[in-house]
Amino acid sequence: MISITLIKWLFYISLVVVTITGIVMMSRESFIIGLLVILLGVLLVRVYCKAMIVLFKIHESLVELKNK
């Protein structure tokens, strides 16, 4: 259960990093590139973290079935 909490914290930290990176890229490079970094970065971080949570929940279910 602690790993799911850790993944949620990783998700929020990653969102902050992606947003800051996108804002910096908007000001230094191109507005469009920065916007794409924010949009795609948030999407990819969410998909990755949700996949990790699903994998851990599957593992917990399999361990529970094995112990029965």
Query: What are the pLDDT digits (tens) for 31-51?
Result: 999 999 999 999 999 999 999
User: Containing domain of residue 38, as a range?
Assistant: 2-67
Question: What average pLDDT does this structure show over 7-18?
Answer: 94
pLDDT on residue 3: 81
Does position 2 have pLDDT exceeding 80, yes or no?
A: no
Over residues 53-58, mean pLDDT: 91
Is the dihedral angle over the CA atoms 23, 29, 31, 34 positive or is it negative?
negative
31-67 helix and 2-28 helix, angle to the nearest 10 degrees: 170
Query: How many domains are there within the chain?
Result: 1
Segment 20-35 shows an average pLDDT of: 92
